[in-house]
Amino acid sequence: MTDAYIYDAARTPRGKGRKDGSLHEVTSVALSARLLNAIKERNGLEGHAVEDVIWGNATQVMEQGGCLARSAVLLSDLDERIPGLSINRFCASAMEAVNLAANQIKGGAGNGYIAGGVEMMSRVAMGSDGAAIAVDPQLAMKTYFVPQGISADIIATEYGFSREDVDALGVESQRRAIEAIKDNRFAKSIVPVLDQNGLVILDHDEFPRPGTTMETLGALKPSFKDMGEVMPGFDKIAMLKYPHLDHINHVHHAGNSSGIVDGASAILIGNKEFGEAHGLKPRARIRATAKIGTDPTIMLTGPVPVTEKILKDSGMSISDIDLFEVNEAFAAVVLRFMQFFNVDASKVNVNGGAIALGHPLGATGAIIIGTLLDELERRDLSTGLATLCVASGMGAATIIERV
């Protein structure tokens, strides 16, 4: 089996995912095409250079519907002979795109791929696809469905994370992100978004909130308390599933949960022959990939079992990993990961995470792989693991190793 290498990693800046955000007037296909063009230009790709474009997206309706990957290829400057595949593993969609591309290469199905994803949360609202897991009574009742915010609060309750604990992680995410931005640590990957006249629309992440403190977060009300305790009363559903809990401690809010943003990400993956053919030097090897299903009610614990799986499958231990990117969907997700593996916080999300920078659902998986690679290079370290929790109870992970 051949190795799959990362040759380039790029992303757009993350814009505030609302109507007054900088990227709101940019369509999903236009943002995707912008990034595909950047990968083409940065790496001198001509003709039928890659086998496929695999593009993740979590809300595949309206402008993000159809085969968005193929639409993006056709709008871009890539050769029209390159097809496109759209996939959906909710928050892990872009990571799954990368993992799928890597495993296709390892299996001999093509020499090179572009993989990544997009989510325009200001233009296509989260949940607007009417997912069966939430709206089909038969399925929702079978799985004891609760919204993700309730799931995060269940994790905090089950594993003993206080409001102070989750707020402290939120403050630290902001501090680390601001420091990384000031130090230009994201510059290698960020591709500015331009308008039709070539003028810059956005060239930096606009979501971080400098000056965030424990006091400012302490003033925020829990976001999911009312839906849990009053109507529609999801706490009671959760306690039917987990009768050992006599209450749900509601600790999450906008300051310790992932930000709603717009963004896209892309990674150029190929085998050794691909790099030689295009005069490119590999930056890292994709050493292992994994995915797993988990409890659909608590939903967000996937990073723990999928990390156990990927380490076991690859014959590695947690001590073999130099840096971790654990998507900050909610603070309790990351706290549980560090608690379970006894991982030093100084190795996890060292440049902040989705609480400070935002979580464009279908793009985040490839964003954190690129961020991880850039930081391994900056610190001259070897091996990193990226992982995400996934809606409806799943987890995904990727281990990369510099070459």
Model pLDDT for residues 191-217, shown as the tens digit of each residue: 999 998 999 999 999 999 999 999 999
CA-wise closest residue to 357 among 143, 166, 102, 186: 186
Mean pLDDT of the chain: 97
Whether this model's pTM surpasses 0.95 = yes
Instruction: Please report which confidence band the pLDDT of residue 378 belongs to, taking 50, 70 and 90 as the band edges.
Output: very high
Average pLDDT over residues 56-76: 97
Residues 223 and 90: their CA atoms lie apart, in Å, by 22
- The region of weakest confidence among 27-36, 64-73, 131-140, 218-227 is 131-140
- Coil, strand or helix: which one is 383? strand
10 Å CB burial of residue 24 (0-12, 13-18, 19+) is middle
Average pLDDT over residues 149-164: 98
Q: Given this model, what pLDDT does residue 232 score?
A: 78
Residues forming the active site: 91, 359, 389
**Number of CB atoms found within 10 A of residue 25's CB:** 12
pLDDT at residue 1 is higher than 90: no
Question: Each residue of 131-156: pLDDT tens digit?
Answer: 898 889 999 999 999 999 999 999 99
Q: Given this model, what pLDDT does residue 133 score?
A: 86
Residue 82's Cα: distance from chain center in Å? 25
Residues 60 and 363: their CA atoms lie apart, in Å, by 13
pLDDT at residue 5 is higher than 90: yes
Question: Each residue of 50-59: pLDDT tens digit?
Answer: 999 999 999 9
pLDDT at residue 392 is higher than 90: yes
Question: Each residue of 316-341: pLDDT tens digit?
Answer: 999 999 999 999 999 999 999 999 99
Question: Each residue of 77-134: pLDDT tens digit?
Answer: 999 999 999 999 999 999 999 999 999 999 999 999 999 999 999 999 998 998 898 8
